[in-house]
């Protein structure tokens, strides 16, 4: 019985490693659906039970996500990034915002220095989606666009570590935005720090970008009523 158990564990570990490898090497990129059980069984040469255990393990590690009636999707290609995301999802919003106070300033400065025209276009498009959702009072679309805006700013900074951290922060960012009821307090006027940040990045003005980022975070702190001076 013990020998069978060891063999089973070995098959599960082998299947887990193979599926992880396909994710990491980009065969199944983030956002894609992995093949169904029957296909995985055939390609990996293991039973359905072994495939299920392997998939369950990768769901637990944060690389995969099952979606009712739609299959299982890749949500991360990095175990460490997935672990960070799970930690952030459990964190208090005040702690997430404290971390953002440092990161946002760096992201803004770097984006103003290093952004490409394509990255600027992506930031402007996310801001437009945010403003459209604000006009429609669509909370889900607003929080998604706002979180995407910040991720794109970080990605424009030519610092892959900062970009990875911000991608991991995106779920916590959405929770922060919902809690702060930002759709009720946000503005699309010229005084909006998001617009000022975008304009500073367009003008490649690092100091103006930092100033806008500081204003933006001050608004979040106010809306969340967080004691961040401790």
Q: Which tens digits make up the pLDDT trace of 59-82?
A: 887 788 888 888 999 887 877 666
Would you say residue 181 has pLDDT above 60?
no
- Residues 6-21 pLDDT 10s: 444 588 999 999 999 9
C-beta separation of 155 from 123 below 8 A: no
pLDDT, residue 70, reads 85
pTM tops 0.85: no
Amino acid 6: pLDDT: 42
Percent of the chain exceeding pLDDT 70 equals: 78
pLDDT digits (tens, 9 = 90+) for 72-125: 998 878 776 666 666 666 767 677 777 788 899 999 999 999 999 999 999 999
Report whether 149 contacts 194 (CB < 8 A). Answer: yes
Q: Once rounded to an integer, what is the mean pLDDT over residues 204-220?
A: 91
pLDDT at 168: 75
* Residue-level pLDDT at 1: 28
Please, are residues 132 and 144 in contact by the beta-carbon 8 Å criterion?
no
> What is the DSSP code (8-state) at residue 138?
-
Note every long-range contact of 97-101, with CB atoms under 8 Å and residues 24 or more positions apart, other chains counting: 97/176, 97/217, 97/220, 97/221, 97/224, 97/226, 97/228, 98/228, 99/169, 100/169, 100/173, 100/217, 100/220, 101/217, 101/228
Helix (H) or strand (E) segment spanning residue 73? strand 71-74
Per-residue pLDDT, averaged over 178-191, amounts to: 61
Residue 222: per-residue pLDDT: 67
The residue ranking higher by pLDDT, 66 or 186, is: 66
Asked whether residue 208 carries a pLDDT value surpassing 50, the answer given is yes
Tracing tokens 């029957």 back to the chain, one arrives at: 38
The pLDDT, as a whole number, for residue 107 is: 96
Cα separation, 39 vs 48, whole angstroms: 10
Do the Cβ atoms of 148 and 126 come closer than 8 Å?
Answer: yes
How many C-beta neighbours within 10 Å does residue 16 have? Answer: 21
Average pLDDT rounded to a whole number, residues 131-147: 88
**Residues 141/230, Cβ–Cβ less than 8 Å:** no
- For residue 185, name the pLDDT band (cuts at 50, 70, 90): low
Residue ranges of alpha helices (H) inside the chain are 2-24, 37-44, 48-60, 79-90, 93-114, 117-136, 139-155, 160-179, 182-185, 193-202, 206-224
8 A C-beta contact, residue 51 and residue 37: yes
Nearest in space to 173 (alpha carbons), one of 182, 185, 186: 182
> Is residue 97 within 8 Å of residue 229, measured between CB atoms?
no
């Amino acid at each position: 019985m013990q020998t069978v158990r060891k063999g089973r564990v070995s098959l599960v570990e082998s299947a887990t490693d193979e599926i992880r490898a396909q994710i990491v090497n980009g065969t199944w990129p983030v956002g894609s659906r992995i093949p169904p059980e029957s296909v995985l069984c055939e390609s990996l040469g293991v039973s359905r039970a072994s495939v299920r255990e392997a998939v369950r393990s990768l769901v637990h590690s944060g690389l995969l996500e099952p979606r009712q009636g739609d299959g299982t999707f890749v949500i991360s290609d990095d175990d460490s990034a997935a672990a960070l995301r799970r930690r952030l999802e459990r964190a208090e919003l005040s702690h997430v915002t404290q971390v953002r106070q440092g990161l946002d300033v760096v992201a803004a400065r770097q984006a103003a220095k290093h952004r490409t025209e394509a990255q600027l276009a992506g930031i402007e498009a996310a801001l437009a989606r945010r403003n459209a959702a604000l006009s429609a009072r669509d909370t889900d679309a607003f929080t998604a666009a706002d979180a995407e805006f910040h991720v794109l700013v970080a990605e424009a900074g030519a610092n892959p570590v900062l970009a990875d951290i911000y991608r991991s922060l995106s779920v916590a960012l959405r929770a922060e935005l919902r809690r702060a009821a930002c759709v009720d307090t946000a503005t699309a006027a010229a005084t909006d720090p998001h617009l000022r940040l975008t304009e500073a990045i367009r003008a490649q003005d690092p100091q103006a970008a930092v100033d806008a980022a500081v204003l933006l975070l001050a608004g979040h702190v106010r809306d969340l009523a967080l004691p961040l001076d401790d």
